[in-house]
Amino acid sequence: MSGRAQLMWDEAVTGYDFGPGHPMDPVRLALTMRLVEAFGLHRGPLEVVAAKPAGDSTLGLVHRADYIEAVRRASADPASADLDYGLGTEDDPAFPRMHEASALIAGQSVGAAEAVWRGEASHAVNFAGGLHHAMPGGASGFCVYNDAALAVARLLELGAERVAYVDVDVHHGDGVQAAFWEDPRVLTISLHEHPQTLFPQTGWPEETGGEGAAGSAVNVALPAGTGDAGWLRAFHAVVPELLAAFRPQALVTQHGADTHFEDPLAHLAVSLDAQRAVAESCHALAHEHAEGRWVALGGGGYAVVEVVPRSWTHLAAIAGHRPIDPTSRVPEEWRHEVFRRTRQLAPQRMTDGRTPQWRDFAEGGYDPADRLDQAVLATRRAVFPAHGLLP
Ligand SMILES: [Zn+2]
Ligand SMILES: [Zn+2]
């Protein structure tokens, strides 16, 4: 597997900052980029590219004009933020230059989509992106502009007839699902903690797509507490068969790192090693089913020192075709940088010491009494027949 890979990065994405005490601390992005650099990934494996901010016509592929205008107003005068648009809330407080920072992140994902579609790169990564909760007409869940939906929309605009979106953030990818609810050209698959126990309380298996797009939305609602074996079992029981049947021309993936057992905002128990395994699977699936075209995005992740930088550095390294051995030591220079910026001690190795394993759903059967298996079956029953697959 080869081909050029791009890492989308403009240091100014760290201006996406909801302020002190907010979980979405931009230090998570800066520390990730520093770790990428400490491993030398920016010298060779990945070409670092800064794309332009998304302009109004691009933002308008997903977002309503009145919402974009409301973001602009809140950006110029945060005190005037309009709650009707989800701005100025506890989750999405307005901040100066909010529009500019959000449009810059969106621009990186759109630029990634363009590079991959035009063949300038086979894979492109924007770990500052993956802001999957933003709705066409409102901010939600720390997300202002939905760069993930915009990347998909741009691929369609450039001529793609089928695009698949796979979201493994611990939260439901509700904004992307909403953007393409009635669009049969886009298959959205989200694996997340069950809506009964987590924001945004959507992503039930019965949500399968709107008018004219039956089966185009896929939701796997995982029981709280799901660990590596269950998470990987669910991923492999749902994603590969659907991608094989759908035959996308490009794959967009969202790699929120908040599935991790150390994450403070959710209740799954996934390790860094399983997150890395899923990134590798997404890479392989892009080559197998999407003509190698892969746009990989970040997402949530609030263990900003312990988890996020390592998880997304693995992701970037995989996209750059120079994967990092999990047993590698974390470079000392980066550990110093972490301490300097956060006064926290950084992890020492690129692993949590787990060896991810799972049982295949197709072989060996399933256990009707097991809650994970019930979740997987509910999803397969809800959407597999629409794709000509056996549940
Ligand atoms: Zn590749
Ligand atoms: Zn999340």
pLDDT of residue 138: 98
25 CA distance to ligand 2 middle (Å): 14
Q: Which ligand minimizes its atom distance to the CA of 322?
A: 1
Mean pLDDT within 123-149 = 98
Distance (angstroms) between ligand 2 centre and the Cα of 388 equals 31
Distance 365 CA to ligand 2 centre (A): 31
Percent of the chain residues topping a pLDDT of 70 = 99
- Cα–ligand 2 centroid distance for 89 (angstroms): 18
Which DSSP string corresponds to 322-387? -PPPTTPBPPHHHHHHHHHHHS-PPPSBS--S-------SSSS---TT-HHHHHHHHHHHHHGGGG
Distances, alpha carbon 348 to alpha carbons 24, 38, 259, 316, in Å: 23, 14, 21, 19
Question: Which SS3 state, helix, strand or coil, does residue 106 take?
Answer: helix
Interval between CA 169 and ligand 2 midpoint (Å): 5
Side chain identity at residue 73, one-letter code = R
C-alpha 385/C-alpha 215 separation (Å) is 8
Is the pLDDT at 176 greater than 70? The verdict is yes
Distance in Å, CA 186 to ligand 1 centroid: 22
The percentage of the chain sitting over the pLDDT mark of 90, rounded to a whole number, equals 97
CB of 106 closer than 8 Å to CB of 58: yes
pLDDT at residue 133, as a whole number: 98
Is residue 219 pLDDT above 70, yes or no? Answer: yes
Instruction: Check: CB of residue 137 under 8 Å from CB of residue 64.
Output: yes
Place of tokens 């959407």: 383
Q: How confident is the model at residue 54, as a pLDDT?
A: 98
**How far apart are the CA of 219 and the centre of ligand 2, in A?**
15
Please name which ligand lies nearest the alpha carbon of 121: 1
**How confident is the model at residue 362, as a pLDDT?**
82
- 2 pLDDT band, cuts 50/70/90, is low
Question: In this predicted model, what pLDDT tens digit does every residue of 28-74 receive, in sequence order?
Answer: 999 999 999 999 999 999 999 999 999 999 999 999 999 999 999 99
pLDDT of residue 364: 76
Residue 260 annotated in active site = no
Q: What value does the mean pLDDT take over residues 362-384?
A: 93
- Could you give the count of Cα atoms lying within 13 Å of 4 in the half-sphere of its Cβ? 13
d(CA 278, CA 288): 15
For residue 257, give the ligand nearest its CA: 2
Q: What's the CA-to-centroid distance between 36 and ligand 2, angstroms?
A: 22
Q: Among 114, 31, 159, 112, which Cα is nearest to 319's?
A: 112
Q: Which residues pair with 227 in a beta bridge?
A: 269
**How does pLDDT run across 3-22, given as a tens digit for each residue?**
799 999 999 999 999 999 99
| Å from CA of 23 to ligand 1 middle | 33
Mean pLDDT for the stretch of residues 169-193: 98
Summarize pLDDT for 227-264 with one digit per residue, the tens: 999 999 999 999 999 999 999 999 999 999 999 999 99
Catalytic option among 99, 123, 132, 133: 133
Q: Which ligand is nearest to the CA of 132?
A: 2
Report which bound ligand comes closest to the CA of 267: 2
User: How much is the pLDDT for 389?
Assistant: 98
**pLDDT grade, residue 215 (50/70/90)?**
very high
Burial of 344 (0-12, 13-18, 19+ CB in 10 A): exposed
Residue 1: its pLDDT value, please? 45
